[in-house]
Structure 1
Amino acid sequence: MEAAHISSPLKHEKGGWTSFPFIIGAVMGLTLASGGWSANLIVFLISEYNIKSIAATQINNVILGCNNLFPIAGAIIADSFFGSFSVVAVFAFISLLGVILLTLTSTIHSLRPPLCAVGSYACQTPSHLQYGVLYRALSLASLGVGGTRFTIATMGADQFDQPNHQAIFFNWYFLTLYLGSIISYTAIIYIQDNISWSLGFGICVIANAISLAVFLLGKRFYRPSKPKGSPFMSIARVVVAAIRKRKMLSGNCQGLDYYHGDTSTKFQVRTPTENFRFLNFAAIRTEDENQPSWKLCTLEELEDLKILIKIMPLWSTSIFLSTTIAIFNSLTILQALTMDRHLGPHFKVPPGSFLVFNLVATALSIFIIDRFLLPAWKNLICQTLTPLQRIGIGHVINILAMVASALIESRRLHVVETHNSNGTPGSSIVPMSGLWLVLPLAIVGVGEGFHFPGQVALYYQEFPSSLRSTSTAMISLLIGIGFYLGTAITNLVRRSTGWLPNNNINDGRLDNVFWLSAVIGVVNFGYYLVCAKLFKYQNVEKHDDHDHGEVSSIAH
C-alpha cells in the first residue's frame, strides 16, 4: 500500500508507477461491473425470469464456474499468442457487450416473461428466444471476466522490475478487488432490488465502459509484453513425446542421451528420476533431434511434469471443499429470500448482499491470521504453521460451517411449521431474522482465510518454477470445478429426493442438504489427511521464512 510514496523515475520510460493508475482504475471498473451482474444473479433469474429457485441456483453455479475457469484460458491465450494488453482490451469489450445485453433484458419487456409472484406455481416460463438472449448475455459477460481478471494482474506486475514494487502492486490489486466486490454486493444489489434492475445493470455498463476507456488511454504508458509461450504447452509436449516414443525401448533407459536444452539453465539433474519412468522416453534424444519438439522435451520439462503429478492428489482434495462452499452460497441466498431481512423499520437487506458477510469475514480473518496468529504460533512453539496445516484447519472449519448451516435451517423449518400451524399456511416468508445466516457465512469466511492462502503458499512453493506465475490460478480452477460439481450434486439431490423443491424451499429439507455437505466434508478431510501424510515437500527450506508474508491477500 505504498504506491503514493514511490516516485516515478525522471525518465519517461514505459511501465512502472506511471501505468499504475490506468491499470488499477480498469480493475476497479471491471470488478464493479462483474460483481454487479453476478452477485445478484439468482434473485434476477427468480424474480425477472420466473425460473424456479433450484434451477436458478444451478444456472448461477454454472456461470460462476465459468467465471473461474475462463481465466485459465485467458492466461494461456495471453502468454502464448497475443500478449496481455490485447487480451484484456478485447475481453473487456466482450464484457461490455454482455452487460449491455443484460441491461436490455431488464429493460425490454418482450425479452423476459410476465412478472409473477415468487414461489407461485402458475408463472409463465421464458420462451426459447428469451432463454437464448439471456444465455448469450451471460456467456459474453462471463467470457469478459475470464479474459480480464487475472490477465490484467499479470500485466500490472510486468510493469515493474523490482519484486517489492510487484508486491505493492498486488496488494493494491487485491484491495481494489475487495473494495469493488463489496460495493457491488451492497450498493449495486440494493439498487437492483429496490429501484430497478435496469438502473443496476446500467451502472455496470457505465463502470465497464469507463474501465475500458481508462485502460486504453494508458496504452502509451504500458511496457509491452510479448507472448512468451505457455508452460502448459511444455507439459503437453512431454506427454505427446512420451507416447510417440513409447516403443523406442523395451528395457531400461540407462546410458541413453537425454536432452538438457539450454546449457545455461540452472537445472542440475543429469538423468531422469525413477518415478513415473514411462515418461522418461520423452527426453531421449536421437541423432537428428537438436531442439524441443512434439517428439522431444528437455529433462527440466520432464521433471516439472513429474512434480505436478505428485502434487495433483493433494490439489484434488480441495475440489470437494470448493463444492460444499458453492452449494452453501447458492442455498444461503434462497434461505435469505424466505426470511425477515429488515434492519430497523425502513431498511431491508437484499438477499444477494448476505454474501458480503462471507467476503468481510475472509478479509478480516486473513489479516488476523497473517498479522497475529501466525507470529504468535511461531513464538509459542518455535515453528511456523505450514501450508498443509493451514489447509487442514480450513477443512475442519468448513465442516463446522456446514453443521451450523444445517442446525440453523432446522430451526428455520421449525419456525415454518409453527407459522403455518398458526393460520398462515403457504406463506413463503418466515418470521425469522435473516441475520441468523451471518453465523455460518462468517465461519465459512474464516475457513477460507485459512485454506485459500494455505493453498496459494503450497502451490507457489511446490510448483515448478516455469509454472510459478500460474500457480495461484489453480485456486480459480478449483473454485470453477467446485461450482460445476455443486450443480451436479444439487441436480442429483433434486431428482432423487424431495429435499429441494423447485417452487418453495419451505416445503423441502435444506437442512439435509447441509448435513450431506458436512458428510462430504468429513470424507474429503479423511482423503486430505491421507494425501498430506504421503506428500513430501520439494522446497521445504522455504517454509521457515517465506510462509505468510506474500500470500496473505490472495483468497478471492
Structure 2
Amino acid sequence: MAGLVSGDTETQSSGDSKRGGLITFPFMIVTLLGISVTSYGWVLNLIVFLIEEFNIKSIAAAQISNIVNGCLSILPVVTAIITDSFFGNIPVISTAFISLLGIVLLTLIASFNKLIPQPCETGSILCESPSKLQLWILYSALALVTVGTAGTRVSLASAGANQYEKHKHKDSFFTWYFLTVNAGAIVSATAIVYTQDNASWKLGFGLCAAANLISFIVFLSGKRFYNHEKPMGSPFKTLIRVLVASLVKRKDVVSSKEEDYHRVLGRESKNFTAIPSNSFRFLNRAALRTEEDLNQKDGSVINMWRLCSVEEVEDFKSILRLVPLWLAILFLGTSIGVQASLMVLQALVTDRRLGSHFEVPAGSLQVVVLIFSCVFLVLNKWTIFPMYKKLTHKEMTPLQQVGIGQVLNILSMAVSAIVEAKRLKTVESEDLMSVLWLIPPLVIVGIGDAFHYLANAVVFYGEFPESLKNTATSVTSVAMGISFYLSTALIDLIQKNTVWLPDDINQGRVDNVYWVLVIGGVLNFGYFLVCSWFYTYTKFQDDNGQGQDVKDVTT
C-alpha cells in the first residue's frame, strides 16, 4: 500500500499508542468493501427491479432511482453532524445493522409473490399497478437500507483517515477508499446484477445481505485496534457564535492591531494567525476585544456570544471560501445523474447480446465507469501525477484535477448525444444498435470521476476545520445527492415541456437532452474556473507534508 505500507508504520497517540495506524487498514477496507457491495448491489439495478417486478413505467422508475440516490448522498451529512458533535466515527459505523435489516426486507419482497404485483410484459397497458401496502413495504426497505448505508460509508472515510497522523498517509487512505468503493461497485454491477437478471432477485439481494453481515462482523472484530476520536461537541454552535458576535459588533471598527483580538492561549494550530485575515472582514469583529467582553480581574470571556477567538473566526471563513467550489459540483453531479438513468433506459432498447448465450444486463453498464475510474485512480497516483511533477516541477493541485474531471464530463455528454443520434437512426431501420456503442461515453465519464471525486474529497477534508472532518468528507456526497434531485427535476421539466422524453424513448430525442447537459457543463466549467482562480489554499501540502499557501490556477 503506497504511502501506508512504505516507510514507517505510524500509530495515533491519543491516549493509547497501540491504537490506530496500519493495523486498522484491513478491517476498514474489508468493512468498506462489504458495505459497497451491499449498497451498489441493490441500487444499480433498482430501475430494472421497479420496471420488471413492480410494473412501474420507465421514466417514473428512473426518477425514483434518482431520489433514492439523492438520499444516499445527502443523508451522510446528517450522520456526519451527529458523528462530529456527539458520538464519534466508530459507534456510528457500528449501526451498519440498519442497512442489513433493509436488504433482508428487500430479499423477502423478492421471495414472496404477495409482496409484488402480478407480472406482465414490459410496456403492456394491462399491467397491474402495485398496491399501497406493497409500495409501503418497498419504500420501507429502501429507507432502511439507505439510512444504514448513509451512516457507514462516508463515516468510514473519516474514520480510516483519522487512524493516521501524516498527511501523505491520509491521502493514500483516500485513494484506497475510492478504489475499494469502486471495487465493491464492480462486483455488484457484474456478479450481483447478473444474478438478479439471470437467476433470481431473491438470490441477488441475498448475496448483498451476506456481504453486509460479513462486513459488520469484520468491523466489530477490529474495534480494539481503532483510534476512537472523541467528539468535540457541536462545532456548528461555534460557527453560529461567530456570526452572532459579528452582528452584535457590526458598528465596531475593525482593527489591524494584534493586541485588539482574542486568541485561545496555548492552543496549537498549524495555521495560526495573530490577527484575522482580510477576507470576509465583517466577521473579524467577532474576535475584536472590547471592555464589555472580558472580565477585568481574570481576563475570562464574559459572554461567549459576543467574543470568539481568531482561530474560530478563521475556521468559519475557511468554510465560506469553499462554498463557491461546492456549488460547482452541483451541475457536474446533475449531468452524471441524468446520464446514469438514461443509459439504463437506452441499454434496454439496444441489442445486448454478446455471442449466442450472454446478454449484457442493462444495470451492469455502470461497471464501465467504475473500472476506468479504478484504473485511472491508480494511473493518476503512480504514473500521471508523478510525470506531471517531473515535467512542471510542482504538484498538480486538487482543483486542477477537478477541472480536468469537469472537461472530461462535458466530453462524455457530447459523445452520449452523438451515440444516441446514431441509435435513433437504427430504430428507423429496425436494426437495433449494439449496446457496445454506449461504452465510449461511460469510459470518458469514468476517467473524469477518477480526477474530480478524489480531488474534491481531498480539498474539503484538508481545508475544513479539524472539528468538522466528518462533515468535510460528506459535503461532496451532499452535493452529489442534491444533484440527483436536480437531475430528477430536470428530467421532469424536460418531459413536461418537450417531446424528448416519452415513456418509449425510441419515439423521443434523448440526444437533445445530452446537448442541454453539454451547454450547462460548459457554463459550469467557466464558473468553476473563476472560483478556482480566486481560491487560495490554506492547508495544501506536498508529498513531504510541507505546507504551501498557493493560489490555484487551473488553466
TM-score range, shorter chain: 0.7 to 0.9
Q: How does 1:243-254 map to 2 (within 5 A)?
A: 243=247, 245=248, 248=249, 250-254=251-255
Counterpart in 2 of 1:23? Answer: 28
SS in 2 for 1:318: helix
2: CA distance, partners of 1:43 / 1:215: 32
SS in 1 for 2:79: helix
- Structure 2 gaps of 5+ residues are 547-555
SS in 2 for 1:252: coil
SS in 1 for 2:432: strand
2: CA distance, partners of 1:251 / 1:217: 56
Contact (CA 8 Å) 1:269, 1:299: kept in 2 or not? yes
* Change beyond 3 A, Cα 1:238–1:220: same
Counterpart in 2 of 1:32? Answer: 37
* Change beyond 3 A, Cα 1:479–1:546: farther
Deviation string for 1:114-146 (max 9, x for gaps)?
Answer: 112222233222222222111111111111111
Contact (CA 8 Å) 2:155, 2:470: kept in 1 or not? no
* Change beyond 3 A, Cα 1:264–1:359: same
2: CA distance, partners of 1:465 / 1:242: 22
Counterpart check, 1:505 vs 2:505: yes
Counterpart in 1 of 2:439? Answer: 438
TM-score (norm: length of structure 1)? 0.87
2: CA distance, partners of 1:332 / 1:436: 11
2: CA distance, partners of 1:365 / 1:123: 44
Deviation string for 1:65-117 (max 9, x for gaps)?
Answer: 11112222222212211222221122x11101111111122122222221122
Counterpart in 1 of 2:264? Answer: 261
Shift of 1:48: 0.8
SS in 2 for 1:269: coil
Contact (CA 8 Å) 1:383, 1:544: kept in 2 or not? no
Shift of 1:290: 1.9
Shift of 1:460: 4.7
Counterpart in 2 of 1:303? Answer: 314
Counterpart in 2 of 1:427? Answer: none
Q: How does 1:231-242 map to 2 (within 5 A)?
A: 231-242=235-246
Counterpart check, 1:139 vs 2:139: no
Contact (CA 8 Å) 2:294, 2:302: kept in 1 or not? no
Counterpart check, 1:181 vs 2:159: no
2: CA distance, partners of 1:12 / 1:263: 23
* Change beyond 3 A, Cα 1:309–1:17: closer
What is the identity, as a one-letter code, of the residue corresponding to 2:515? W
Counterpart in 1 of 2:478? Answer: 477
Shift of 1:383: 4.4
2: CA distance, partners of 1:391 / 1:203: 35
Contact (CA 8 Å) 2:175, 2:454: kept in 1 or not? no
What is the identity, as a one-letter code, of the residue corresponding to 1:85? I
Counterpart in 1 of 2:93? Answer: 88
What is the identity, as a one-letter code, of the residue corresponding to 1:357? V
Counterpart check, 1:61 vs 2:72: no
Shift of 1:61: 1.1
1: CA distance, partners of 2:144 / 2:274: 48
2: CA distance, partners of 1:467 / 1:528: 24
With 101-110 and 281-290 compared, the bigger mean Cα shift is at: 281-290
Counterpart check, 1:229 vs 2:230: no
* Change beyond 3 A, Cα 1:134–1:241: farther
With 304-313 and 329-338 compared, the bigger mean Cα shift is at: 304-313
Counterpart in 2 of 1:454? Answer: 455
Shift of 1:171: 5.1
2: CA distance, partners of 1:19 / 1:230: 27
1: CA distance, partners of 2:498 / 2:477: 31
1: CA distance, partners of 2:250 / 2:168: 49
Counterpart check, 1:279 vs 2:290: no
TM-score (norm: length of structure 2)? 0.87
With 335-344 and 284-293 compared, the bigger mean Cα shift is at: 284-293
Counterpart in 2 of 1:346? Answer: 357
Counterpart check, 1:322 vs 2:333: yes
SS in 2 for 1:123: coil
Shift of 1:529: 2.5
2:107 paired residue among 71, 91, 103: 103
Counterpart in 2 of 1:553? Answer: none
2:377 paired residue among 339, 361, 366: 366
2: CA distance, partners of 1:165 / 1:545: 11
Shift of 1:506: 1.1
1: CA distance, partners of 2:228 / 2:395: 40
- Structure 1 gaps of 5+ residues are 420-429, 548-556
Counterpart check, 1:114 vs 2:118: yes
Deviation string for 1:216-274 (max 9, x for gaps)?
Answer: 3333444443223354443233224434x2xx452424379532123333454333344
1: CA distance, partners of 2:156 / 2:448: 28
Deviation string for 1:390-443 (max 9, x for gaps)?
Answer: 322222221111111011111111111221xxxxxxxxxx62110111100001
Shift of 1:337: 1.0
* Change beyond 3 A, Cα 1:494–1:291: farther
Shift of 1:41: 0.8
* Change beyond 3 A, Cα 1:310–1:18: closer
* Change beyond 3 A, Cα 1:294–1:495: farther
1: CA distance, partners of 2:428 / 2:51: 24
SS in 1 for 2:433: strand
Counterpart in 2 of 1:398? Answer: 409
Shift of 1:64: 1.1
2:214 paired residue among 202, 210, 214: 210
2: CA distance, partners of 1:96 / 1:292: 47
2: CA distance, partners of 1:403 / 1:161: 43
2: CA distance, partners of 1:219 / 1:268: 34
Shift of 1:455: 2.8
2: CA distance, partners of 1:406 / 1:323: 16
Question: Number of matched residues?
Answer: 530
* Change beyond 3 A, Cα 1:221–1:263: closer
Shift of 1:344: 1.1
Shift of 1:311: 2.9
What is the identity, as a one-letter code, of the residue corresponding to 1:388? L
SS in 1 for 2:365: helix
Counterpart in 2 of 1:529? Answer: 529
What is the identity, as a one-letter code, of the residue corresponding to 1:287? L
What is the identity, as a one-letter code, of the residue corresponding to 1:433? S
